């Protein structure tokens, strides 16, 4: 069975990402075709990239990098939950991704974005990053609006029609994660 991380892509105090990721996780846990784990980048306390050697070399000198590496390497695929900040993903998520290279390779990723335009630009930003990391990103994605899926922009209340989008995205991530496992 494939193992999929649902990654909370923000560390901002009062963040909406945690509620969104927990919602995705609760939906995912009802499935029997994969194992899911909620991964909060805030738990890893990653400073602005501080490794002296490029990540592709795999020569980590910092304990926080080694812990992060082991966690990310343990998964077959990922669901990134990201808010949109200034037409892109968060700096914290980009920093966490940039710490590693080989750990991401030949795996699959899906996306849950949210913001004033459904987080679509943050997801497009992540798709470019994933391509460089040799991650197969799936077509289906979830886009949540701050105007219709959040009360007062802070209390997460997703519309019911998003359930189908989450299911379709998870179907694709699981399928691709299993297929890519054969080449790793």
State pLDDT tens for residues 91-136: 999 999 999 999 999 999 999 999 999 999 999 999 999 999 999 9
In sequence order, what are the beta bridge partners of 81?
Answer: 8, 112
Helix (H) or strand (E) holding 79: strand 77-83
State pLDDT tens for residues 64-96: 999 999 999 999 999 999 999 999 999 999 999
pLDDT cut 70: percent of the chain above it: 100
Residue 160 φ/ψ, nearest 5 degrees: -60, -30
State pLDDT tens for residues 144-159: 999 999 999 999 999 9
Nearest to 60 by CA among 75, 73, 74: 73
State pLDDT tens for residues 23-50: 999 999 999 999 999 999 999 999 999 9
Give the whole-angstrom CA distance, residue 174 versus residue 137: 11
pTM above 0.85, yes or no: yes
Total Cβ atoms within 10 A of residue 56: 11
Q: What mean pLDDT value characterizes the chain?
A: 97
Give Cα separations from 76 to 6, 71, 72, 92, 101 (angstroms).
Answer: 11, 11, 9, 22, 14
Report the length, in residues, of the chain.
184
* Domain locations in the chain as residue ranges: 2-181
Contact 2, 177 (CB under 8 A): yes
Give the whole-angstrom CA distance, residue 11 versus residue 17: 9
Pick the CATH number of 2-181 from 3.40.50.360, 1.10.10.10, 3.40.50.300, 3.30.465.10: 3.40.50.360
State pLDDT tens for residues 12-24: 999 999 999 999 9
Q: What is the pLDDT of residue 171?
A: 98
């Amino acid at each position: 069975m494939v193992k999929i991380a649902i990654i909370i892509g923000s560390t901002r105090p009062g963040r909406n990402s945690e509620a969104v990721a927990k919602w995705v996780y609760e939906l995912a846990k009802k499935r029997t075709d994969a194992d899911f784990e909620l991964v909060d980048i805030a738990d890893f306390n990653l400073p602005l990239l501080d490794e002296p050697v490029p990540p592709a070399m795999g020569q980590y000198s910092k304990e926080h990098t080694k812990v992060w590496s082991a966690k990310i390497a343990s998964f077959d695929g990922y669901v990134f939950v990201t808010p949109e900040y200034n037409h892109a993903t968060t700096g914290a998520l980009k920093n966490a991704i940039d710490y590693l290279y080989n750990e991401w390779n030949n795996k699959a990723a899906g996306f849950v974005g949210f913001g004033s335009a459904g987080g679509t630009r943050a997801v497009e930003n992540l798709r470019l990053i994933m391509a460089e990391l040799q991650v197969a990103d799936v077509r289906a994605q979830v886009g949540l609006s701050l105007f219709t899926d959040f009360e007062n922009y802070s209390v997460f209340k997703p519309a019911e029609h998003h359930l189908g989008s989450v299911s379709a995205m998870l179907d694709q991530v699981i399928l691709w994660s299993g297929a890519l496992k054969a080449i790793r």
